[in-house]
Structures are given as structure tokens and as C-alpha cells.
Amino acid sequence: MNMHSNYIIHEITPLSDKDCFYIADRRKTEFTYPLHSHNECEINYIENAEGVRRIVGDSVETIGKYDLTLITGEELEHVWEQHECQSKDIREITIQFSQDLFFGNFLHKNQFASIRKMLDNGRKGINFPMNTIMKVYPMIDSLSSEESGFHAVIKFLNILYELSLCDNYRTLASSSFAQIDDGSDSRRVRKIYQYINTHYKKEIRLDELSDQIGMTPVAFSRFFKLRSGKTVSDYIIDIRLGHATRLLADTTNSIAEICFDCGFNNLSNFNRIFKKRKGCSPKEFRENYRKKKMII
């Protein structure tokens, strides 16, 4: 993809409303399709493409030889760019399926609990580790050649189930960029998330947060790290960066305006943190997201 593309494409996929899924198994020499989104869920397996840059929302990463990603967010922009990839024998398998594949309450049956959770987390994009890729590879590899439509659907459901059993997949885009709520079973954690999301533009002190749930600052810090997996300061930075990346993508506000509007009080500090967390400067990130919506 050209880093200075003027379009984010909203793709109309080939998936028919009479089919459970659509699969494309391609051999290619380069990635040329631009930044895009679509209504359908997507599993994307890529092989022999070390050096390709994967962008999912505000996540920007360079992939290794194998990459397996699930995206279920309807408007979550994503792209695989050629970047530093020198391979001329790339294999890409894309499986797209409708959000309403699991009709009625089917997905809410107990047997689908792990798939349901994974599809929900997939609204931010999910990347799977190598051991999971190797586990599902035989099924993905043979799916497009399955002659029986019924058996193909069963194999596809098996792929979803095996992926959902992975306990160490990574979500990619930030919640604030993907514009979804962080799920949590803890009422106290949800209260803190809500407070931070409401007040991220201002200075947030540790004692303010701990007072929200009646804890001392020290006890609260331990509690929050245990429940969220992040320190309080790291979580606040992630929320602010998520809002900043969304403004970089959706507005023409200056980088300085965005910096201060998202709670950062120092432009050079904002640039440094952004570069460290996102792997590129705010200016470079914006160039990936020059917005002029287009439907094809």
C-alpha cells in the first residue's frame, strides 16, 4: 500500500447471504490492497511474508514468516503493507464470514462460550501465536479444497473453536480507537475504566482513582495491576493514545492540538511516547489514515 494513499476503502466483500463463509487462497508476490474496513468478520493467514507491516486500528507491527489474525470489528481499518518484505512467494488465505452467522441464540449456548468471547475480543483485532498457527494450519490449508460444503462448514467451525482455546492470543487495536468498552466482570474495575475514559483529558491522580472504590492508593495500585494486567499509568497512557490515534485518523486537527486535547501536557513527551508505543511518529501514523471514504 502507498503510505500516502488518499483512501480508506469500505469493502463490499464477495460473501453471499446464502453462504456461511467466503475463502480466498492466493499466491502473490506483493501486497497492494489499501487500508480498508468491511462489515464481515475475517481470519487472515499469511505465510512466507517476513517484513510485511500489519496495521489493525492503531496497532502497527512488522510480521514474521507466519501471521494469523482475526478481525471482527465492522469499522476496524486494517491493511497488510509490503514494507520490508522481499519474498516473491507469499501465500495468503482469507476467510470472511458474516456477523450473523450464528443465528438467533445459537452463539449464546454454553458450548460456544469460548468462541463468543474470542469474537468479542476480535473487535480490536486478535493475533495468534505460532503454536496456535501450527495447530490450525492443516485445517486452514485444506479448507478451500474441501469438496463438500457441509464438511467445509464443520471444518470452519473447528478452526474457530481451536482458535478460541488459545489462552495467550494478543488483542491489537486499543479499546478507545476501536470505540468499544473494556469488558470486565468486576464492578469496581468497570467503574475505574469509566472514570478514566471520562476524565482522560485532564490530570488523573492516583488518589482520585482509589477514592472511587474506597481503597488506599497502594492497595488500589496492586488491585488494578492484578485485574487489568497493566499499571494505572500505563492504562491511562493507552487510553489517551487510543483517542489520539482516532483524532489523527478522523480529523485535521494539528498534532499539538491533539496532544493537549488527549491529556498530554508536553508535545515532545507525546511524540516520544507515541513513537515508542506505536513504532512511528504521530505524523507518520496520520499519513496511513488520510481519510476519504470510498466503497467498492
Condensed to tens digits (0 to 9), the pLDDT of residues 3-40 reads 334 456 777 778 877 888 999 999 999 998 888 888 89
Output the pLDDT for position 185. 52
CA distance 216 to 158: 47
3-state class (DSSP) for residue 98: coil
Residue 69 or residue 296, greater confidence: 69
- CA 115 to chain CA centroid, Å, is 17
**pLDDT computed for residue 294 by the predictor:** 46
Regarding the domain with residue range 179-283, which homologous superfamily does it belong to in the CATH classification?
Homeodomain-like (1.10.10.60)
Sheet with 126-127: strands ordered across? 21-28, 90-97, 41-47, 66-71, 126-127, 170-171
Q: Give the model confidence (pLDDT) of 176-221 as tens digits.
A: 888 776 655 568 888 898 899 899 999 999 999 999 999 899 999 9
What mean pLDDT comes out for the span 211-237? 89
Domain ranges of the chain: 8-171, 179-283
pLDDT digits 0-9 by tens, 239-280 = 999 999 989 988 889 999 999 999 999 999 999 999 998 888
CATH of 8-171, one of 3.30.300.30, 2.60.120.10, 1.10.3210.10, 3.40.50.2300: 2.60.120.10
pLDDT at residue 122, rounded to an integer: 95
Q: What angle do CA 255, 59, 168 make, to 5 degrees?
A: 150
Average pLDDT over residues 53-67: 92
Three-state DSSP state, 237: helix
Tell me, what's the pLDDT at 183? 59
Could you count the other beta carbons within 10 Å of the beta carbon of residue 259?
Answer: 23
Q: Report the percentage of the chain scoring pLDDT > 90.
A: 58
The whole-number pLDDT of residue 104 equals 59
Please, which residues bridge with residue 55 across strands?
60, 79
9-18, 66-75, 100-109: range with lowest mean pLDDT: 100-109
The confidence band for 103, taking pLDDT boundaries of 50, 70 and 90, is low
CA dist 113 → 107, 117, 140, 162, 234 (Å): 8, 6, 22, 13, 30
In whole numbers, what is the pLDDT of the chain averaged over residues? 87
Question: Contact at 8 Å (CB) between 172 and 185?
Answer: no
pLDDT at site 249: 84
**Does 1 score more than 50 pLDDT?**
no
Question: H/E element holding 44?
Answer: strand 41-47
Measure the CA–CA gap between 66 and 133, rounded to whole angstroms.
Answer: 8
What pLDDT, on a 0 to 100 scale, did the predictor assign at position 178? 81
